[in-house]
Amino acid sequence: MQFENTLVFAQQMDAKDPLRSYRDEFHFPKVKGKEVIYFTGNSLGLQPKRTQKFVDSVMTDWKELAVEGHFQGEKPWWDYHERLAAPLARVVGAKTREVTVMNTLTVNLHLLMVSFYRPTQKRYKIICEEKAFPSDQYMLQSQLRFHGLDPKEALIEIKKREGEHFWRTEDILAKIEEVGDALALVLIGGVNYYNGQVLAMESITKAGKSAGAVVGWDLAHAAGNVHLDLHKWDVDFASWCSYKYMNSGPGNASGVFINERHLNNKDLPRFEGWWGTKKETRFLMKPEFEPMDSADAWQISNVPVLSVAPYLASLELFDEVGMEALIAKRKILTAYLEFVLHAIDAEVDSSFEIITPEERGCQLSVFLHGEGRALFDYLMENGVITDWREPNVIRLAPAPFYCSFEDMYRFGQILKQGILGD
């Protein structure tokens, strides 16, 4: 497609966008009385307008039914989380029984490590990407220390090549082969938070499994953003937060995938709690743990219903639209944003470097050579909500649910004004 950096072109693209009506499904903050251009869905998604109805329903049941809300009402609380499993499975490419919702992301990764990181004297090393998101770094290091291992020796970080801003798949595969029989676990972020790169999850999973290792994925920036087919790829486990592209609200509940071949494996340890026991016998208060025949067996406590209600509201939107349609719009919207950036770069005496490779989701990370924090501040003050990362990178995430082509054009004009001066 031949793009044009004009308002007319952007409005024409919006007019024929099959998802254009979904923009009206979200609340937008305002700056100087105008709706913002929102580029931080990779940090916190906007609130769907229908969320209020889902939360109000829980509050009403609590008010009118009190404890009986667990078993009465339109959506009884005791199995509320089960309503999320099927739509979530469609988002991440899983079977319904392989998915559950519980806790938060790093808590879930720690709990999953109980089951899937079982170091031996020979096989104990973990592969991750260099400069993974700090929570993952802290989690992995603390798990290794918990097992009496030295992270400096047992944690293998895949590095980028000198002078490059992205990982090469062949380097990751080569490192897996090199570590070989010492490799216990591959655990990488499926989409890198800093540069927006989508890793070759299928190929990396296959290589890790061939080496005899367990393979898991942190999908914080992938769920609701890129194509996932976790069951088909034979991923062992994965977890993701719900408040980025999945729009469930700040710090909200996390999703979990556990491959069905691990379900009902009595030799696989886990930390257990009451809510992981069979529904049929849960209230018999048996002393023996009888695991659910699904990923729910990893649940420890009953689900915080007020937290998962917004998640269910958002998943209703995902089910209406489908990942295929969201990905199709994401691709062309992100490509148009890239075009606008290059067009503005050509008009001004500046130099932008997009460090996100072609293997990308809904994010462009841009080095502002010759510019600095002042430009970021200008954008924020003029209604462009974006994200700053040291030393001089802004992350732009045009989420397809609520970002428009006109947003991309308007952003370009504000960016130009910020560089040239009003």
How confident is the model at residue 314, as a pLDDT?
98
The one-character DSSP state at 197 is B
d(CA 73, CA 255): 25
What percent helix, strand, coil does the chain show, rounded to 5?
45, 15, 40
Q: What percent of the chain has pLDDT over 90?
A: 92
Kindly report the backbone phi and psi dihedral angles of residue 269, in degrees, each rounded to the nearest multiple of 5, phi listed first.
-75, 155
Beta strands in 27-113 (DSSP E): 30-31, 34-35, 37-38, 99-102
Q: How many residues does the chain have?
A: 422
Residue 422 above 70 pLDDT? no
Q: How far is CA 232 from CA 43, 102, 171, 197, 207, in A?
A: 28, 23, 24, 22, 15
- Residue pair 108/102 in contact by the 8 Å Cβ criterion: yes
- The angle subtended at Cα 45 by Cα 165 and Cα 62, nearest 5°, is 145
Helices 405-420/373-381 angle, 10° precision:
130
Q: For residue range 349-401, what is the model confidence (pLDDT) as tens digits?
A: 777 899 999 999 999 999 987 777 889 999 999 999 999 988 889 999 999 99
Domain ranges of the chain: 7-47+322-420, 52-321
- Whole-prediction pTM: 0.96
The C-alpha R_g of the chain, in whole angstroms, comes to 23
d(CA 24, CA 224): 19
How confident is the model at residue 105, as a pLDDT?
97
Query: To the nearest 10°, the Cα dihedral for 98, 234, 269, 124?
Result: -150
Kindly report the backbone phi and psi dihedral angles of residue 384, in degrees, each rounded to the nearest multiple of 5, phi listed first.
-105, 105
How confident is the model at residue 98, as a pLDDT?
98
Q: How many helices (H) and strands (E) does the chain have?
A: 13, 15
Q: What CATH number has the domain spanning 52-321?
A: 3.40.640.10
CB-based contacts of 387: which residues, under 8 Å, 6+ apart?
Answer: 39, 40, 42, 43, 394, 395, 397
Homologous superfamily of 7-47+322-420 in CATH? Aspartate Aminotransferase, domain 1 (3.90.1150.10)
d(CA 338, CA 333): 9
In the block, tokens 């025949």 appear at 293
Q: Are strands 34-35 and 30-31 parallel, antiparallel or unpaired?
A: antiparallel
Mean pLDDT of 271-289: 92
336 or 73: which carries more pLDDT confidence?
Answer: 336
- Residue 85 identity: A
**In DSSP terms, which residues pair with 385 in a beta bridge?**
38
- The angle subtended at Cα 327 by Cα 321 and Cα 331, nearest 5°, is 140
d(CA 195, CA 359): 11
Q: For residue range 309-359, what is the model confidence (pLDDT) as tens digits?
A: 999 999 999 999 999 999 999 999 999 999 999 999 999 877 789 999 999
- Residue pair 37/384 in contact by the 8 Å Cβ criterion: yes
Residue 25 above 80 pLDDT? yes
Mean pLDDT of 222-233: 98
Residue 284 above 70 pLDDT? yes
CA atoms in the 13 A half-sphere facing the CB of 356: 26
Q: Which of 222, 178, 186 is nearest to 203 (CA)?
A: 186
Average pLDDT, the chain: 96
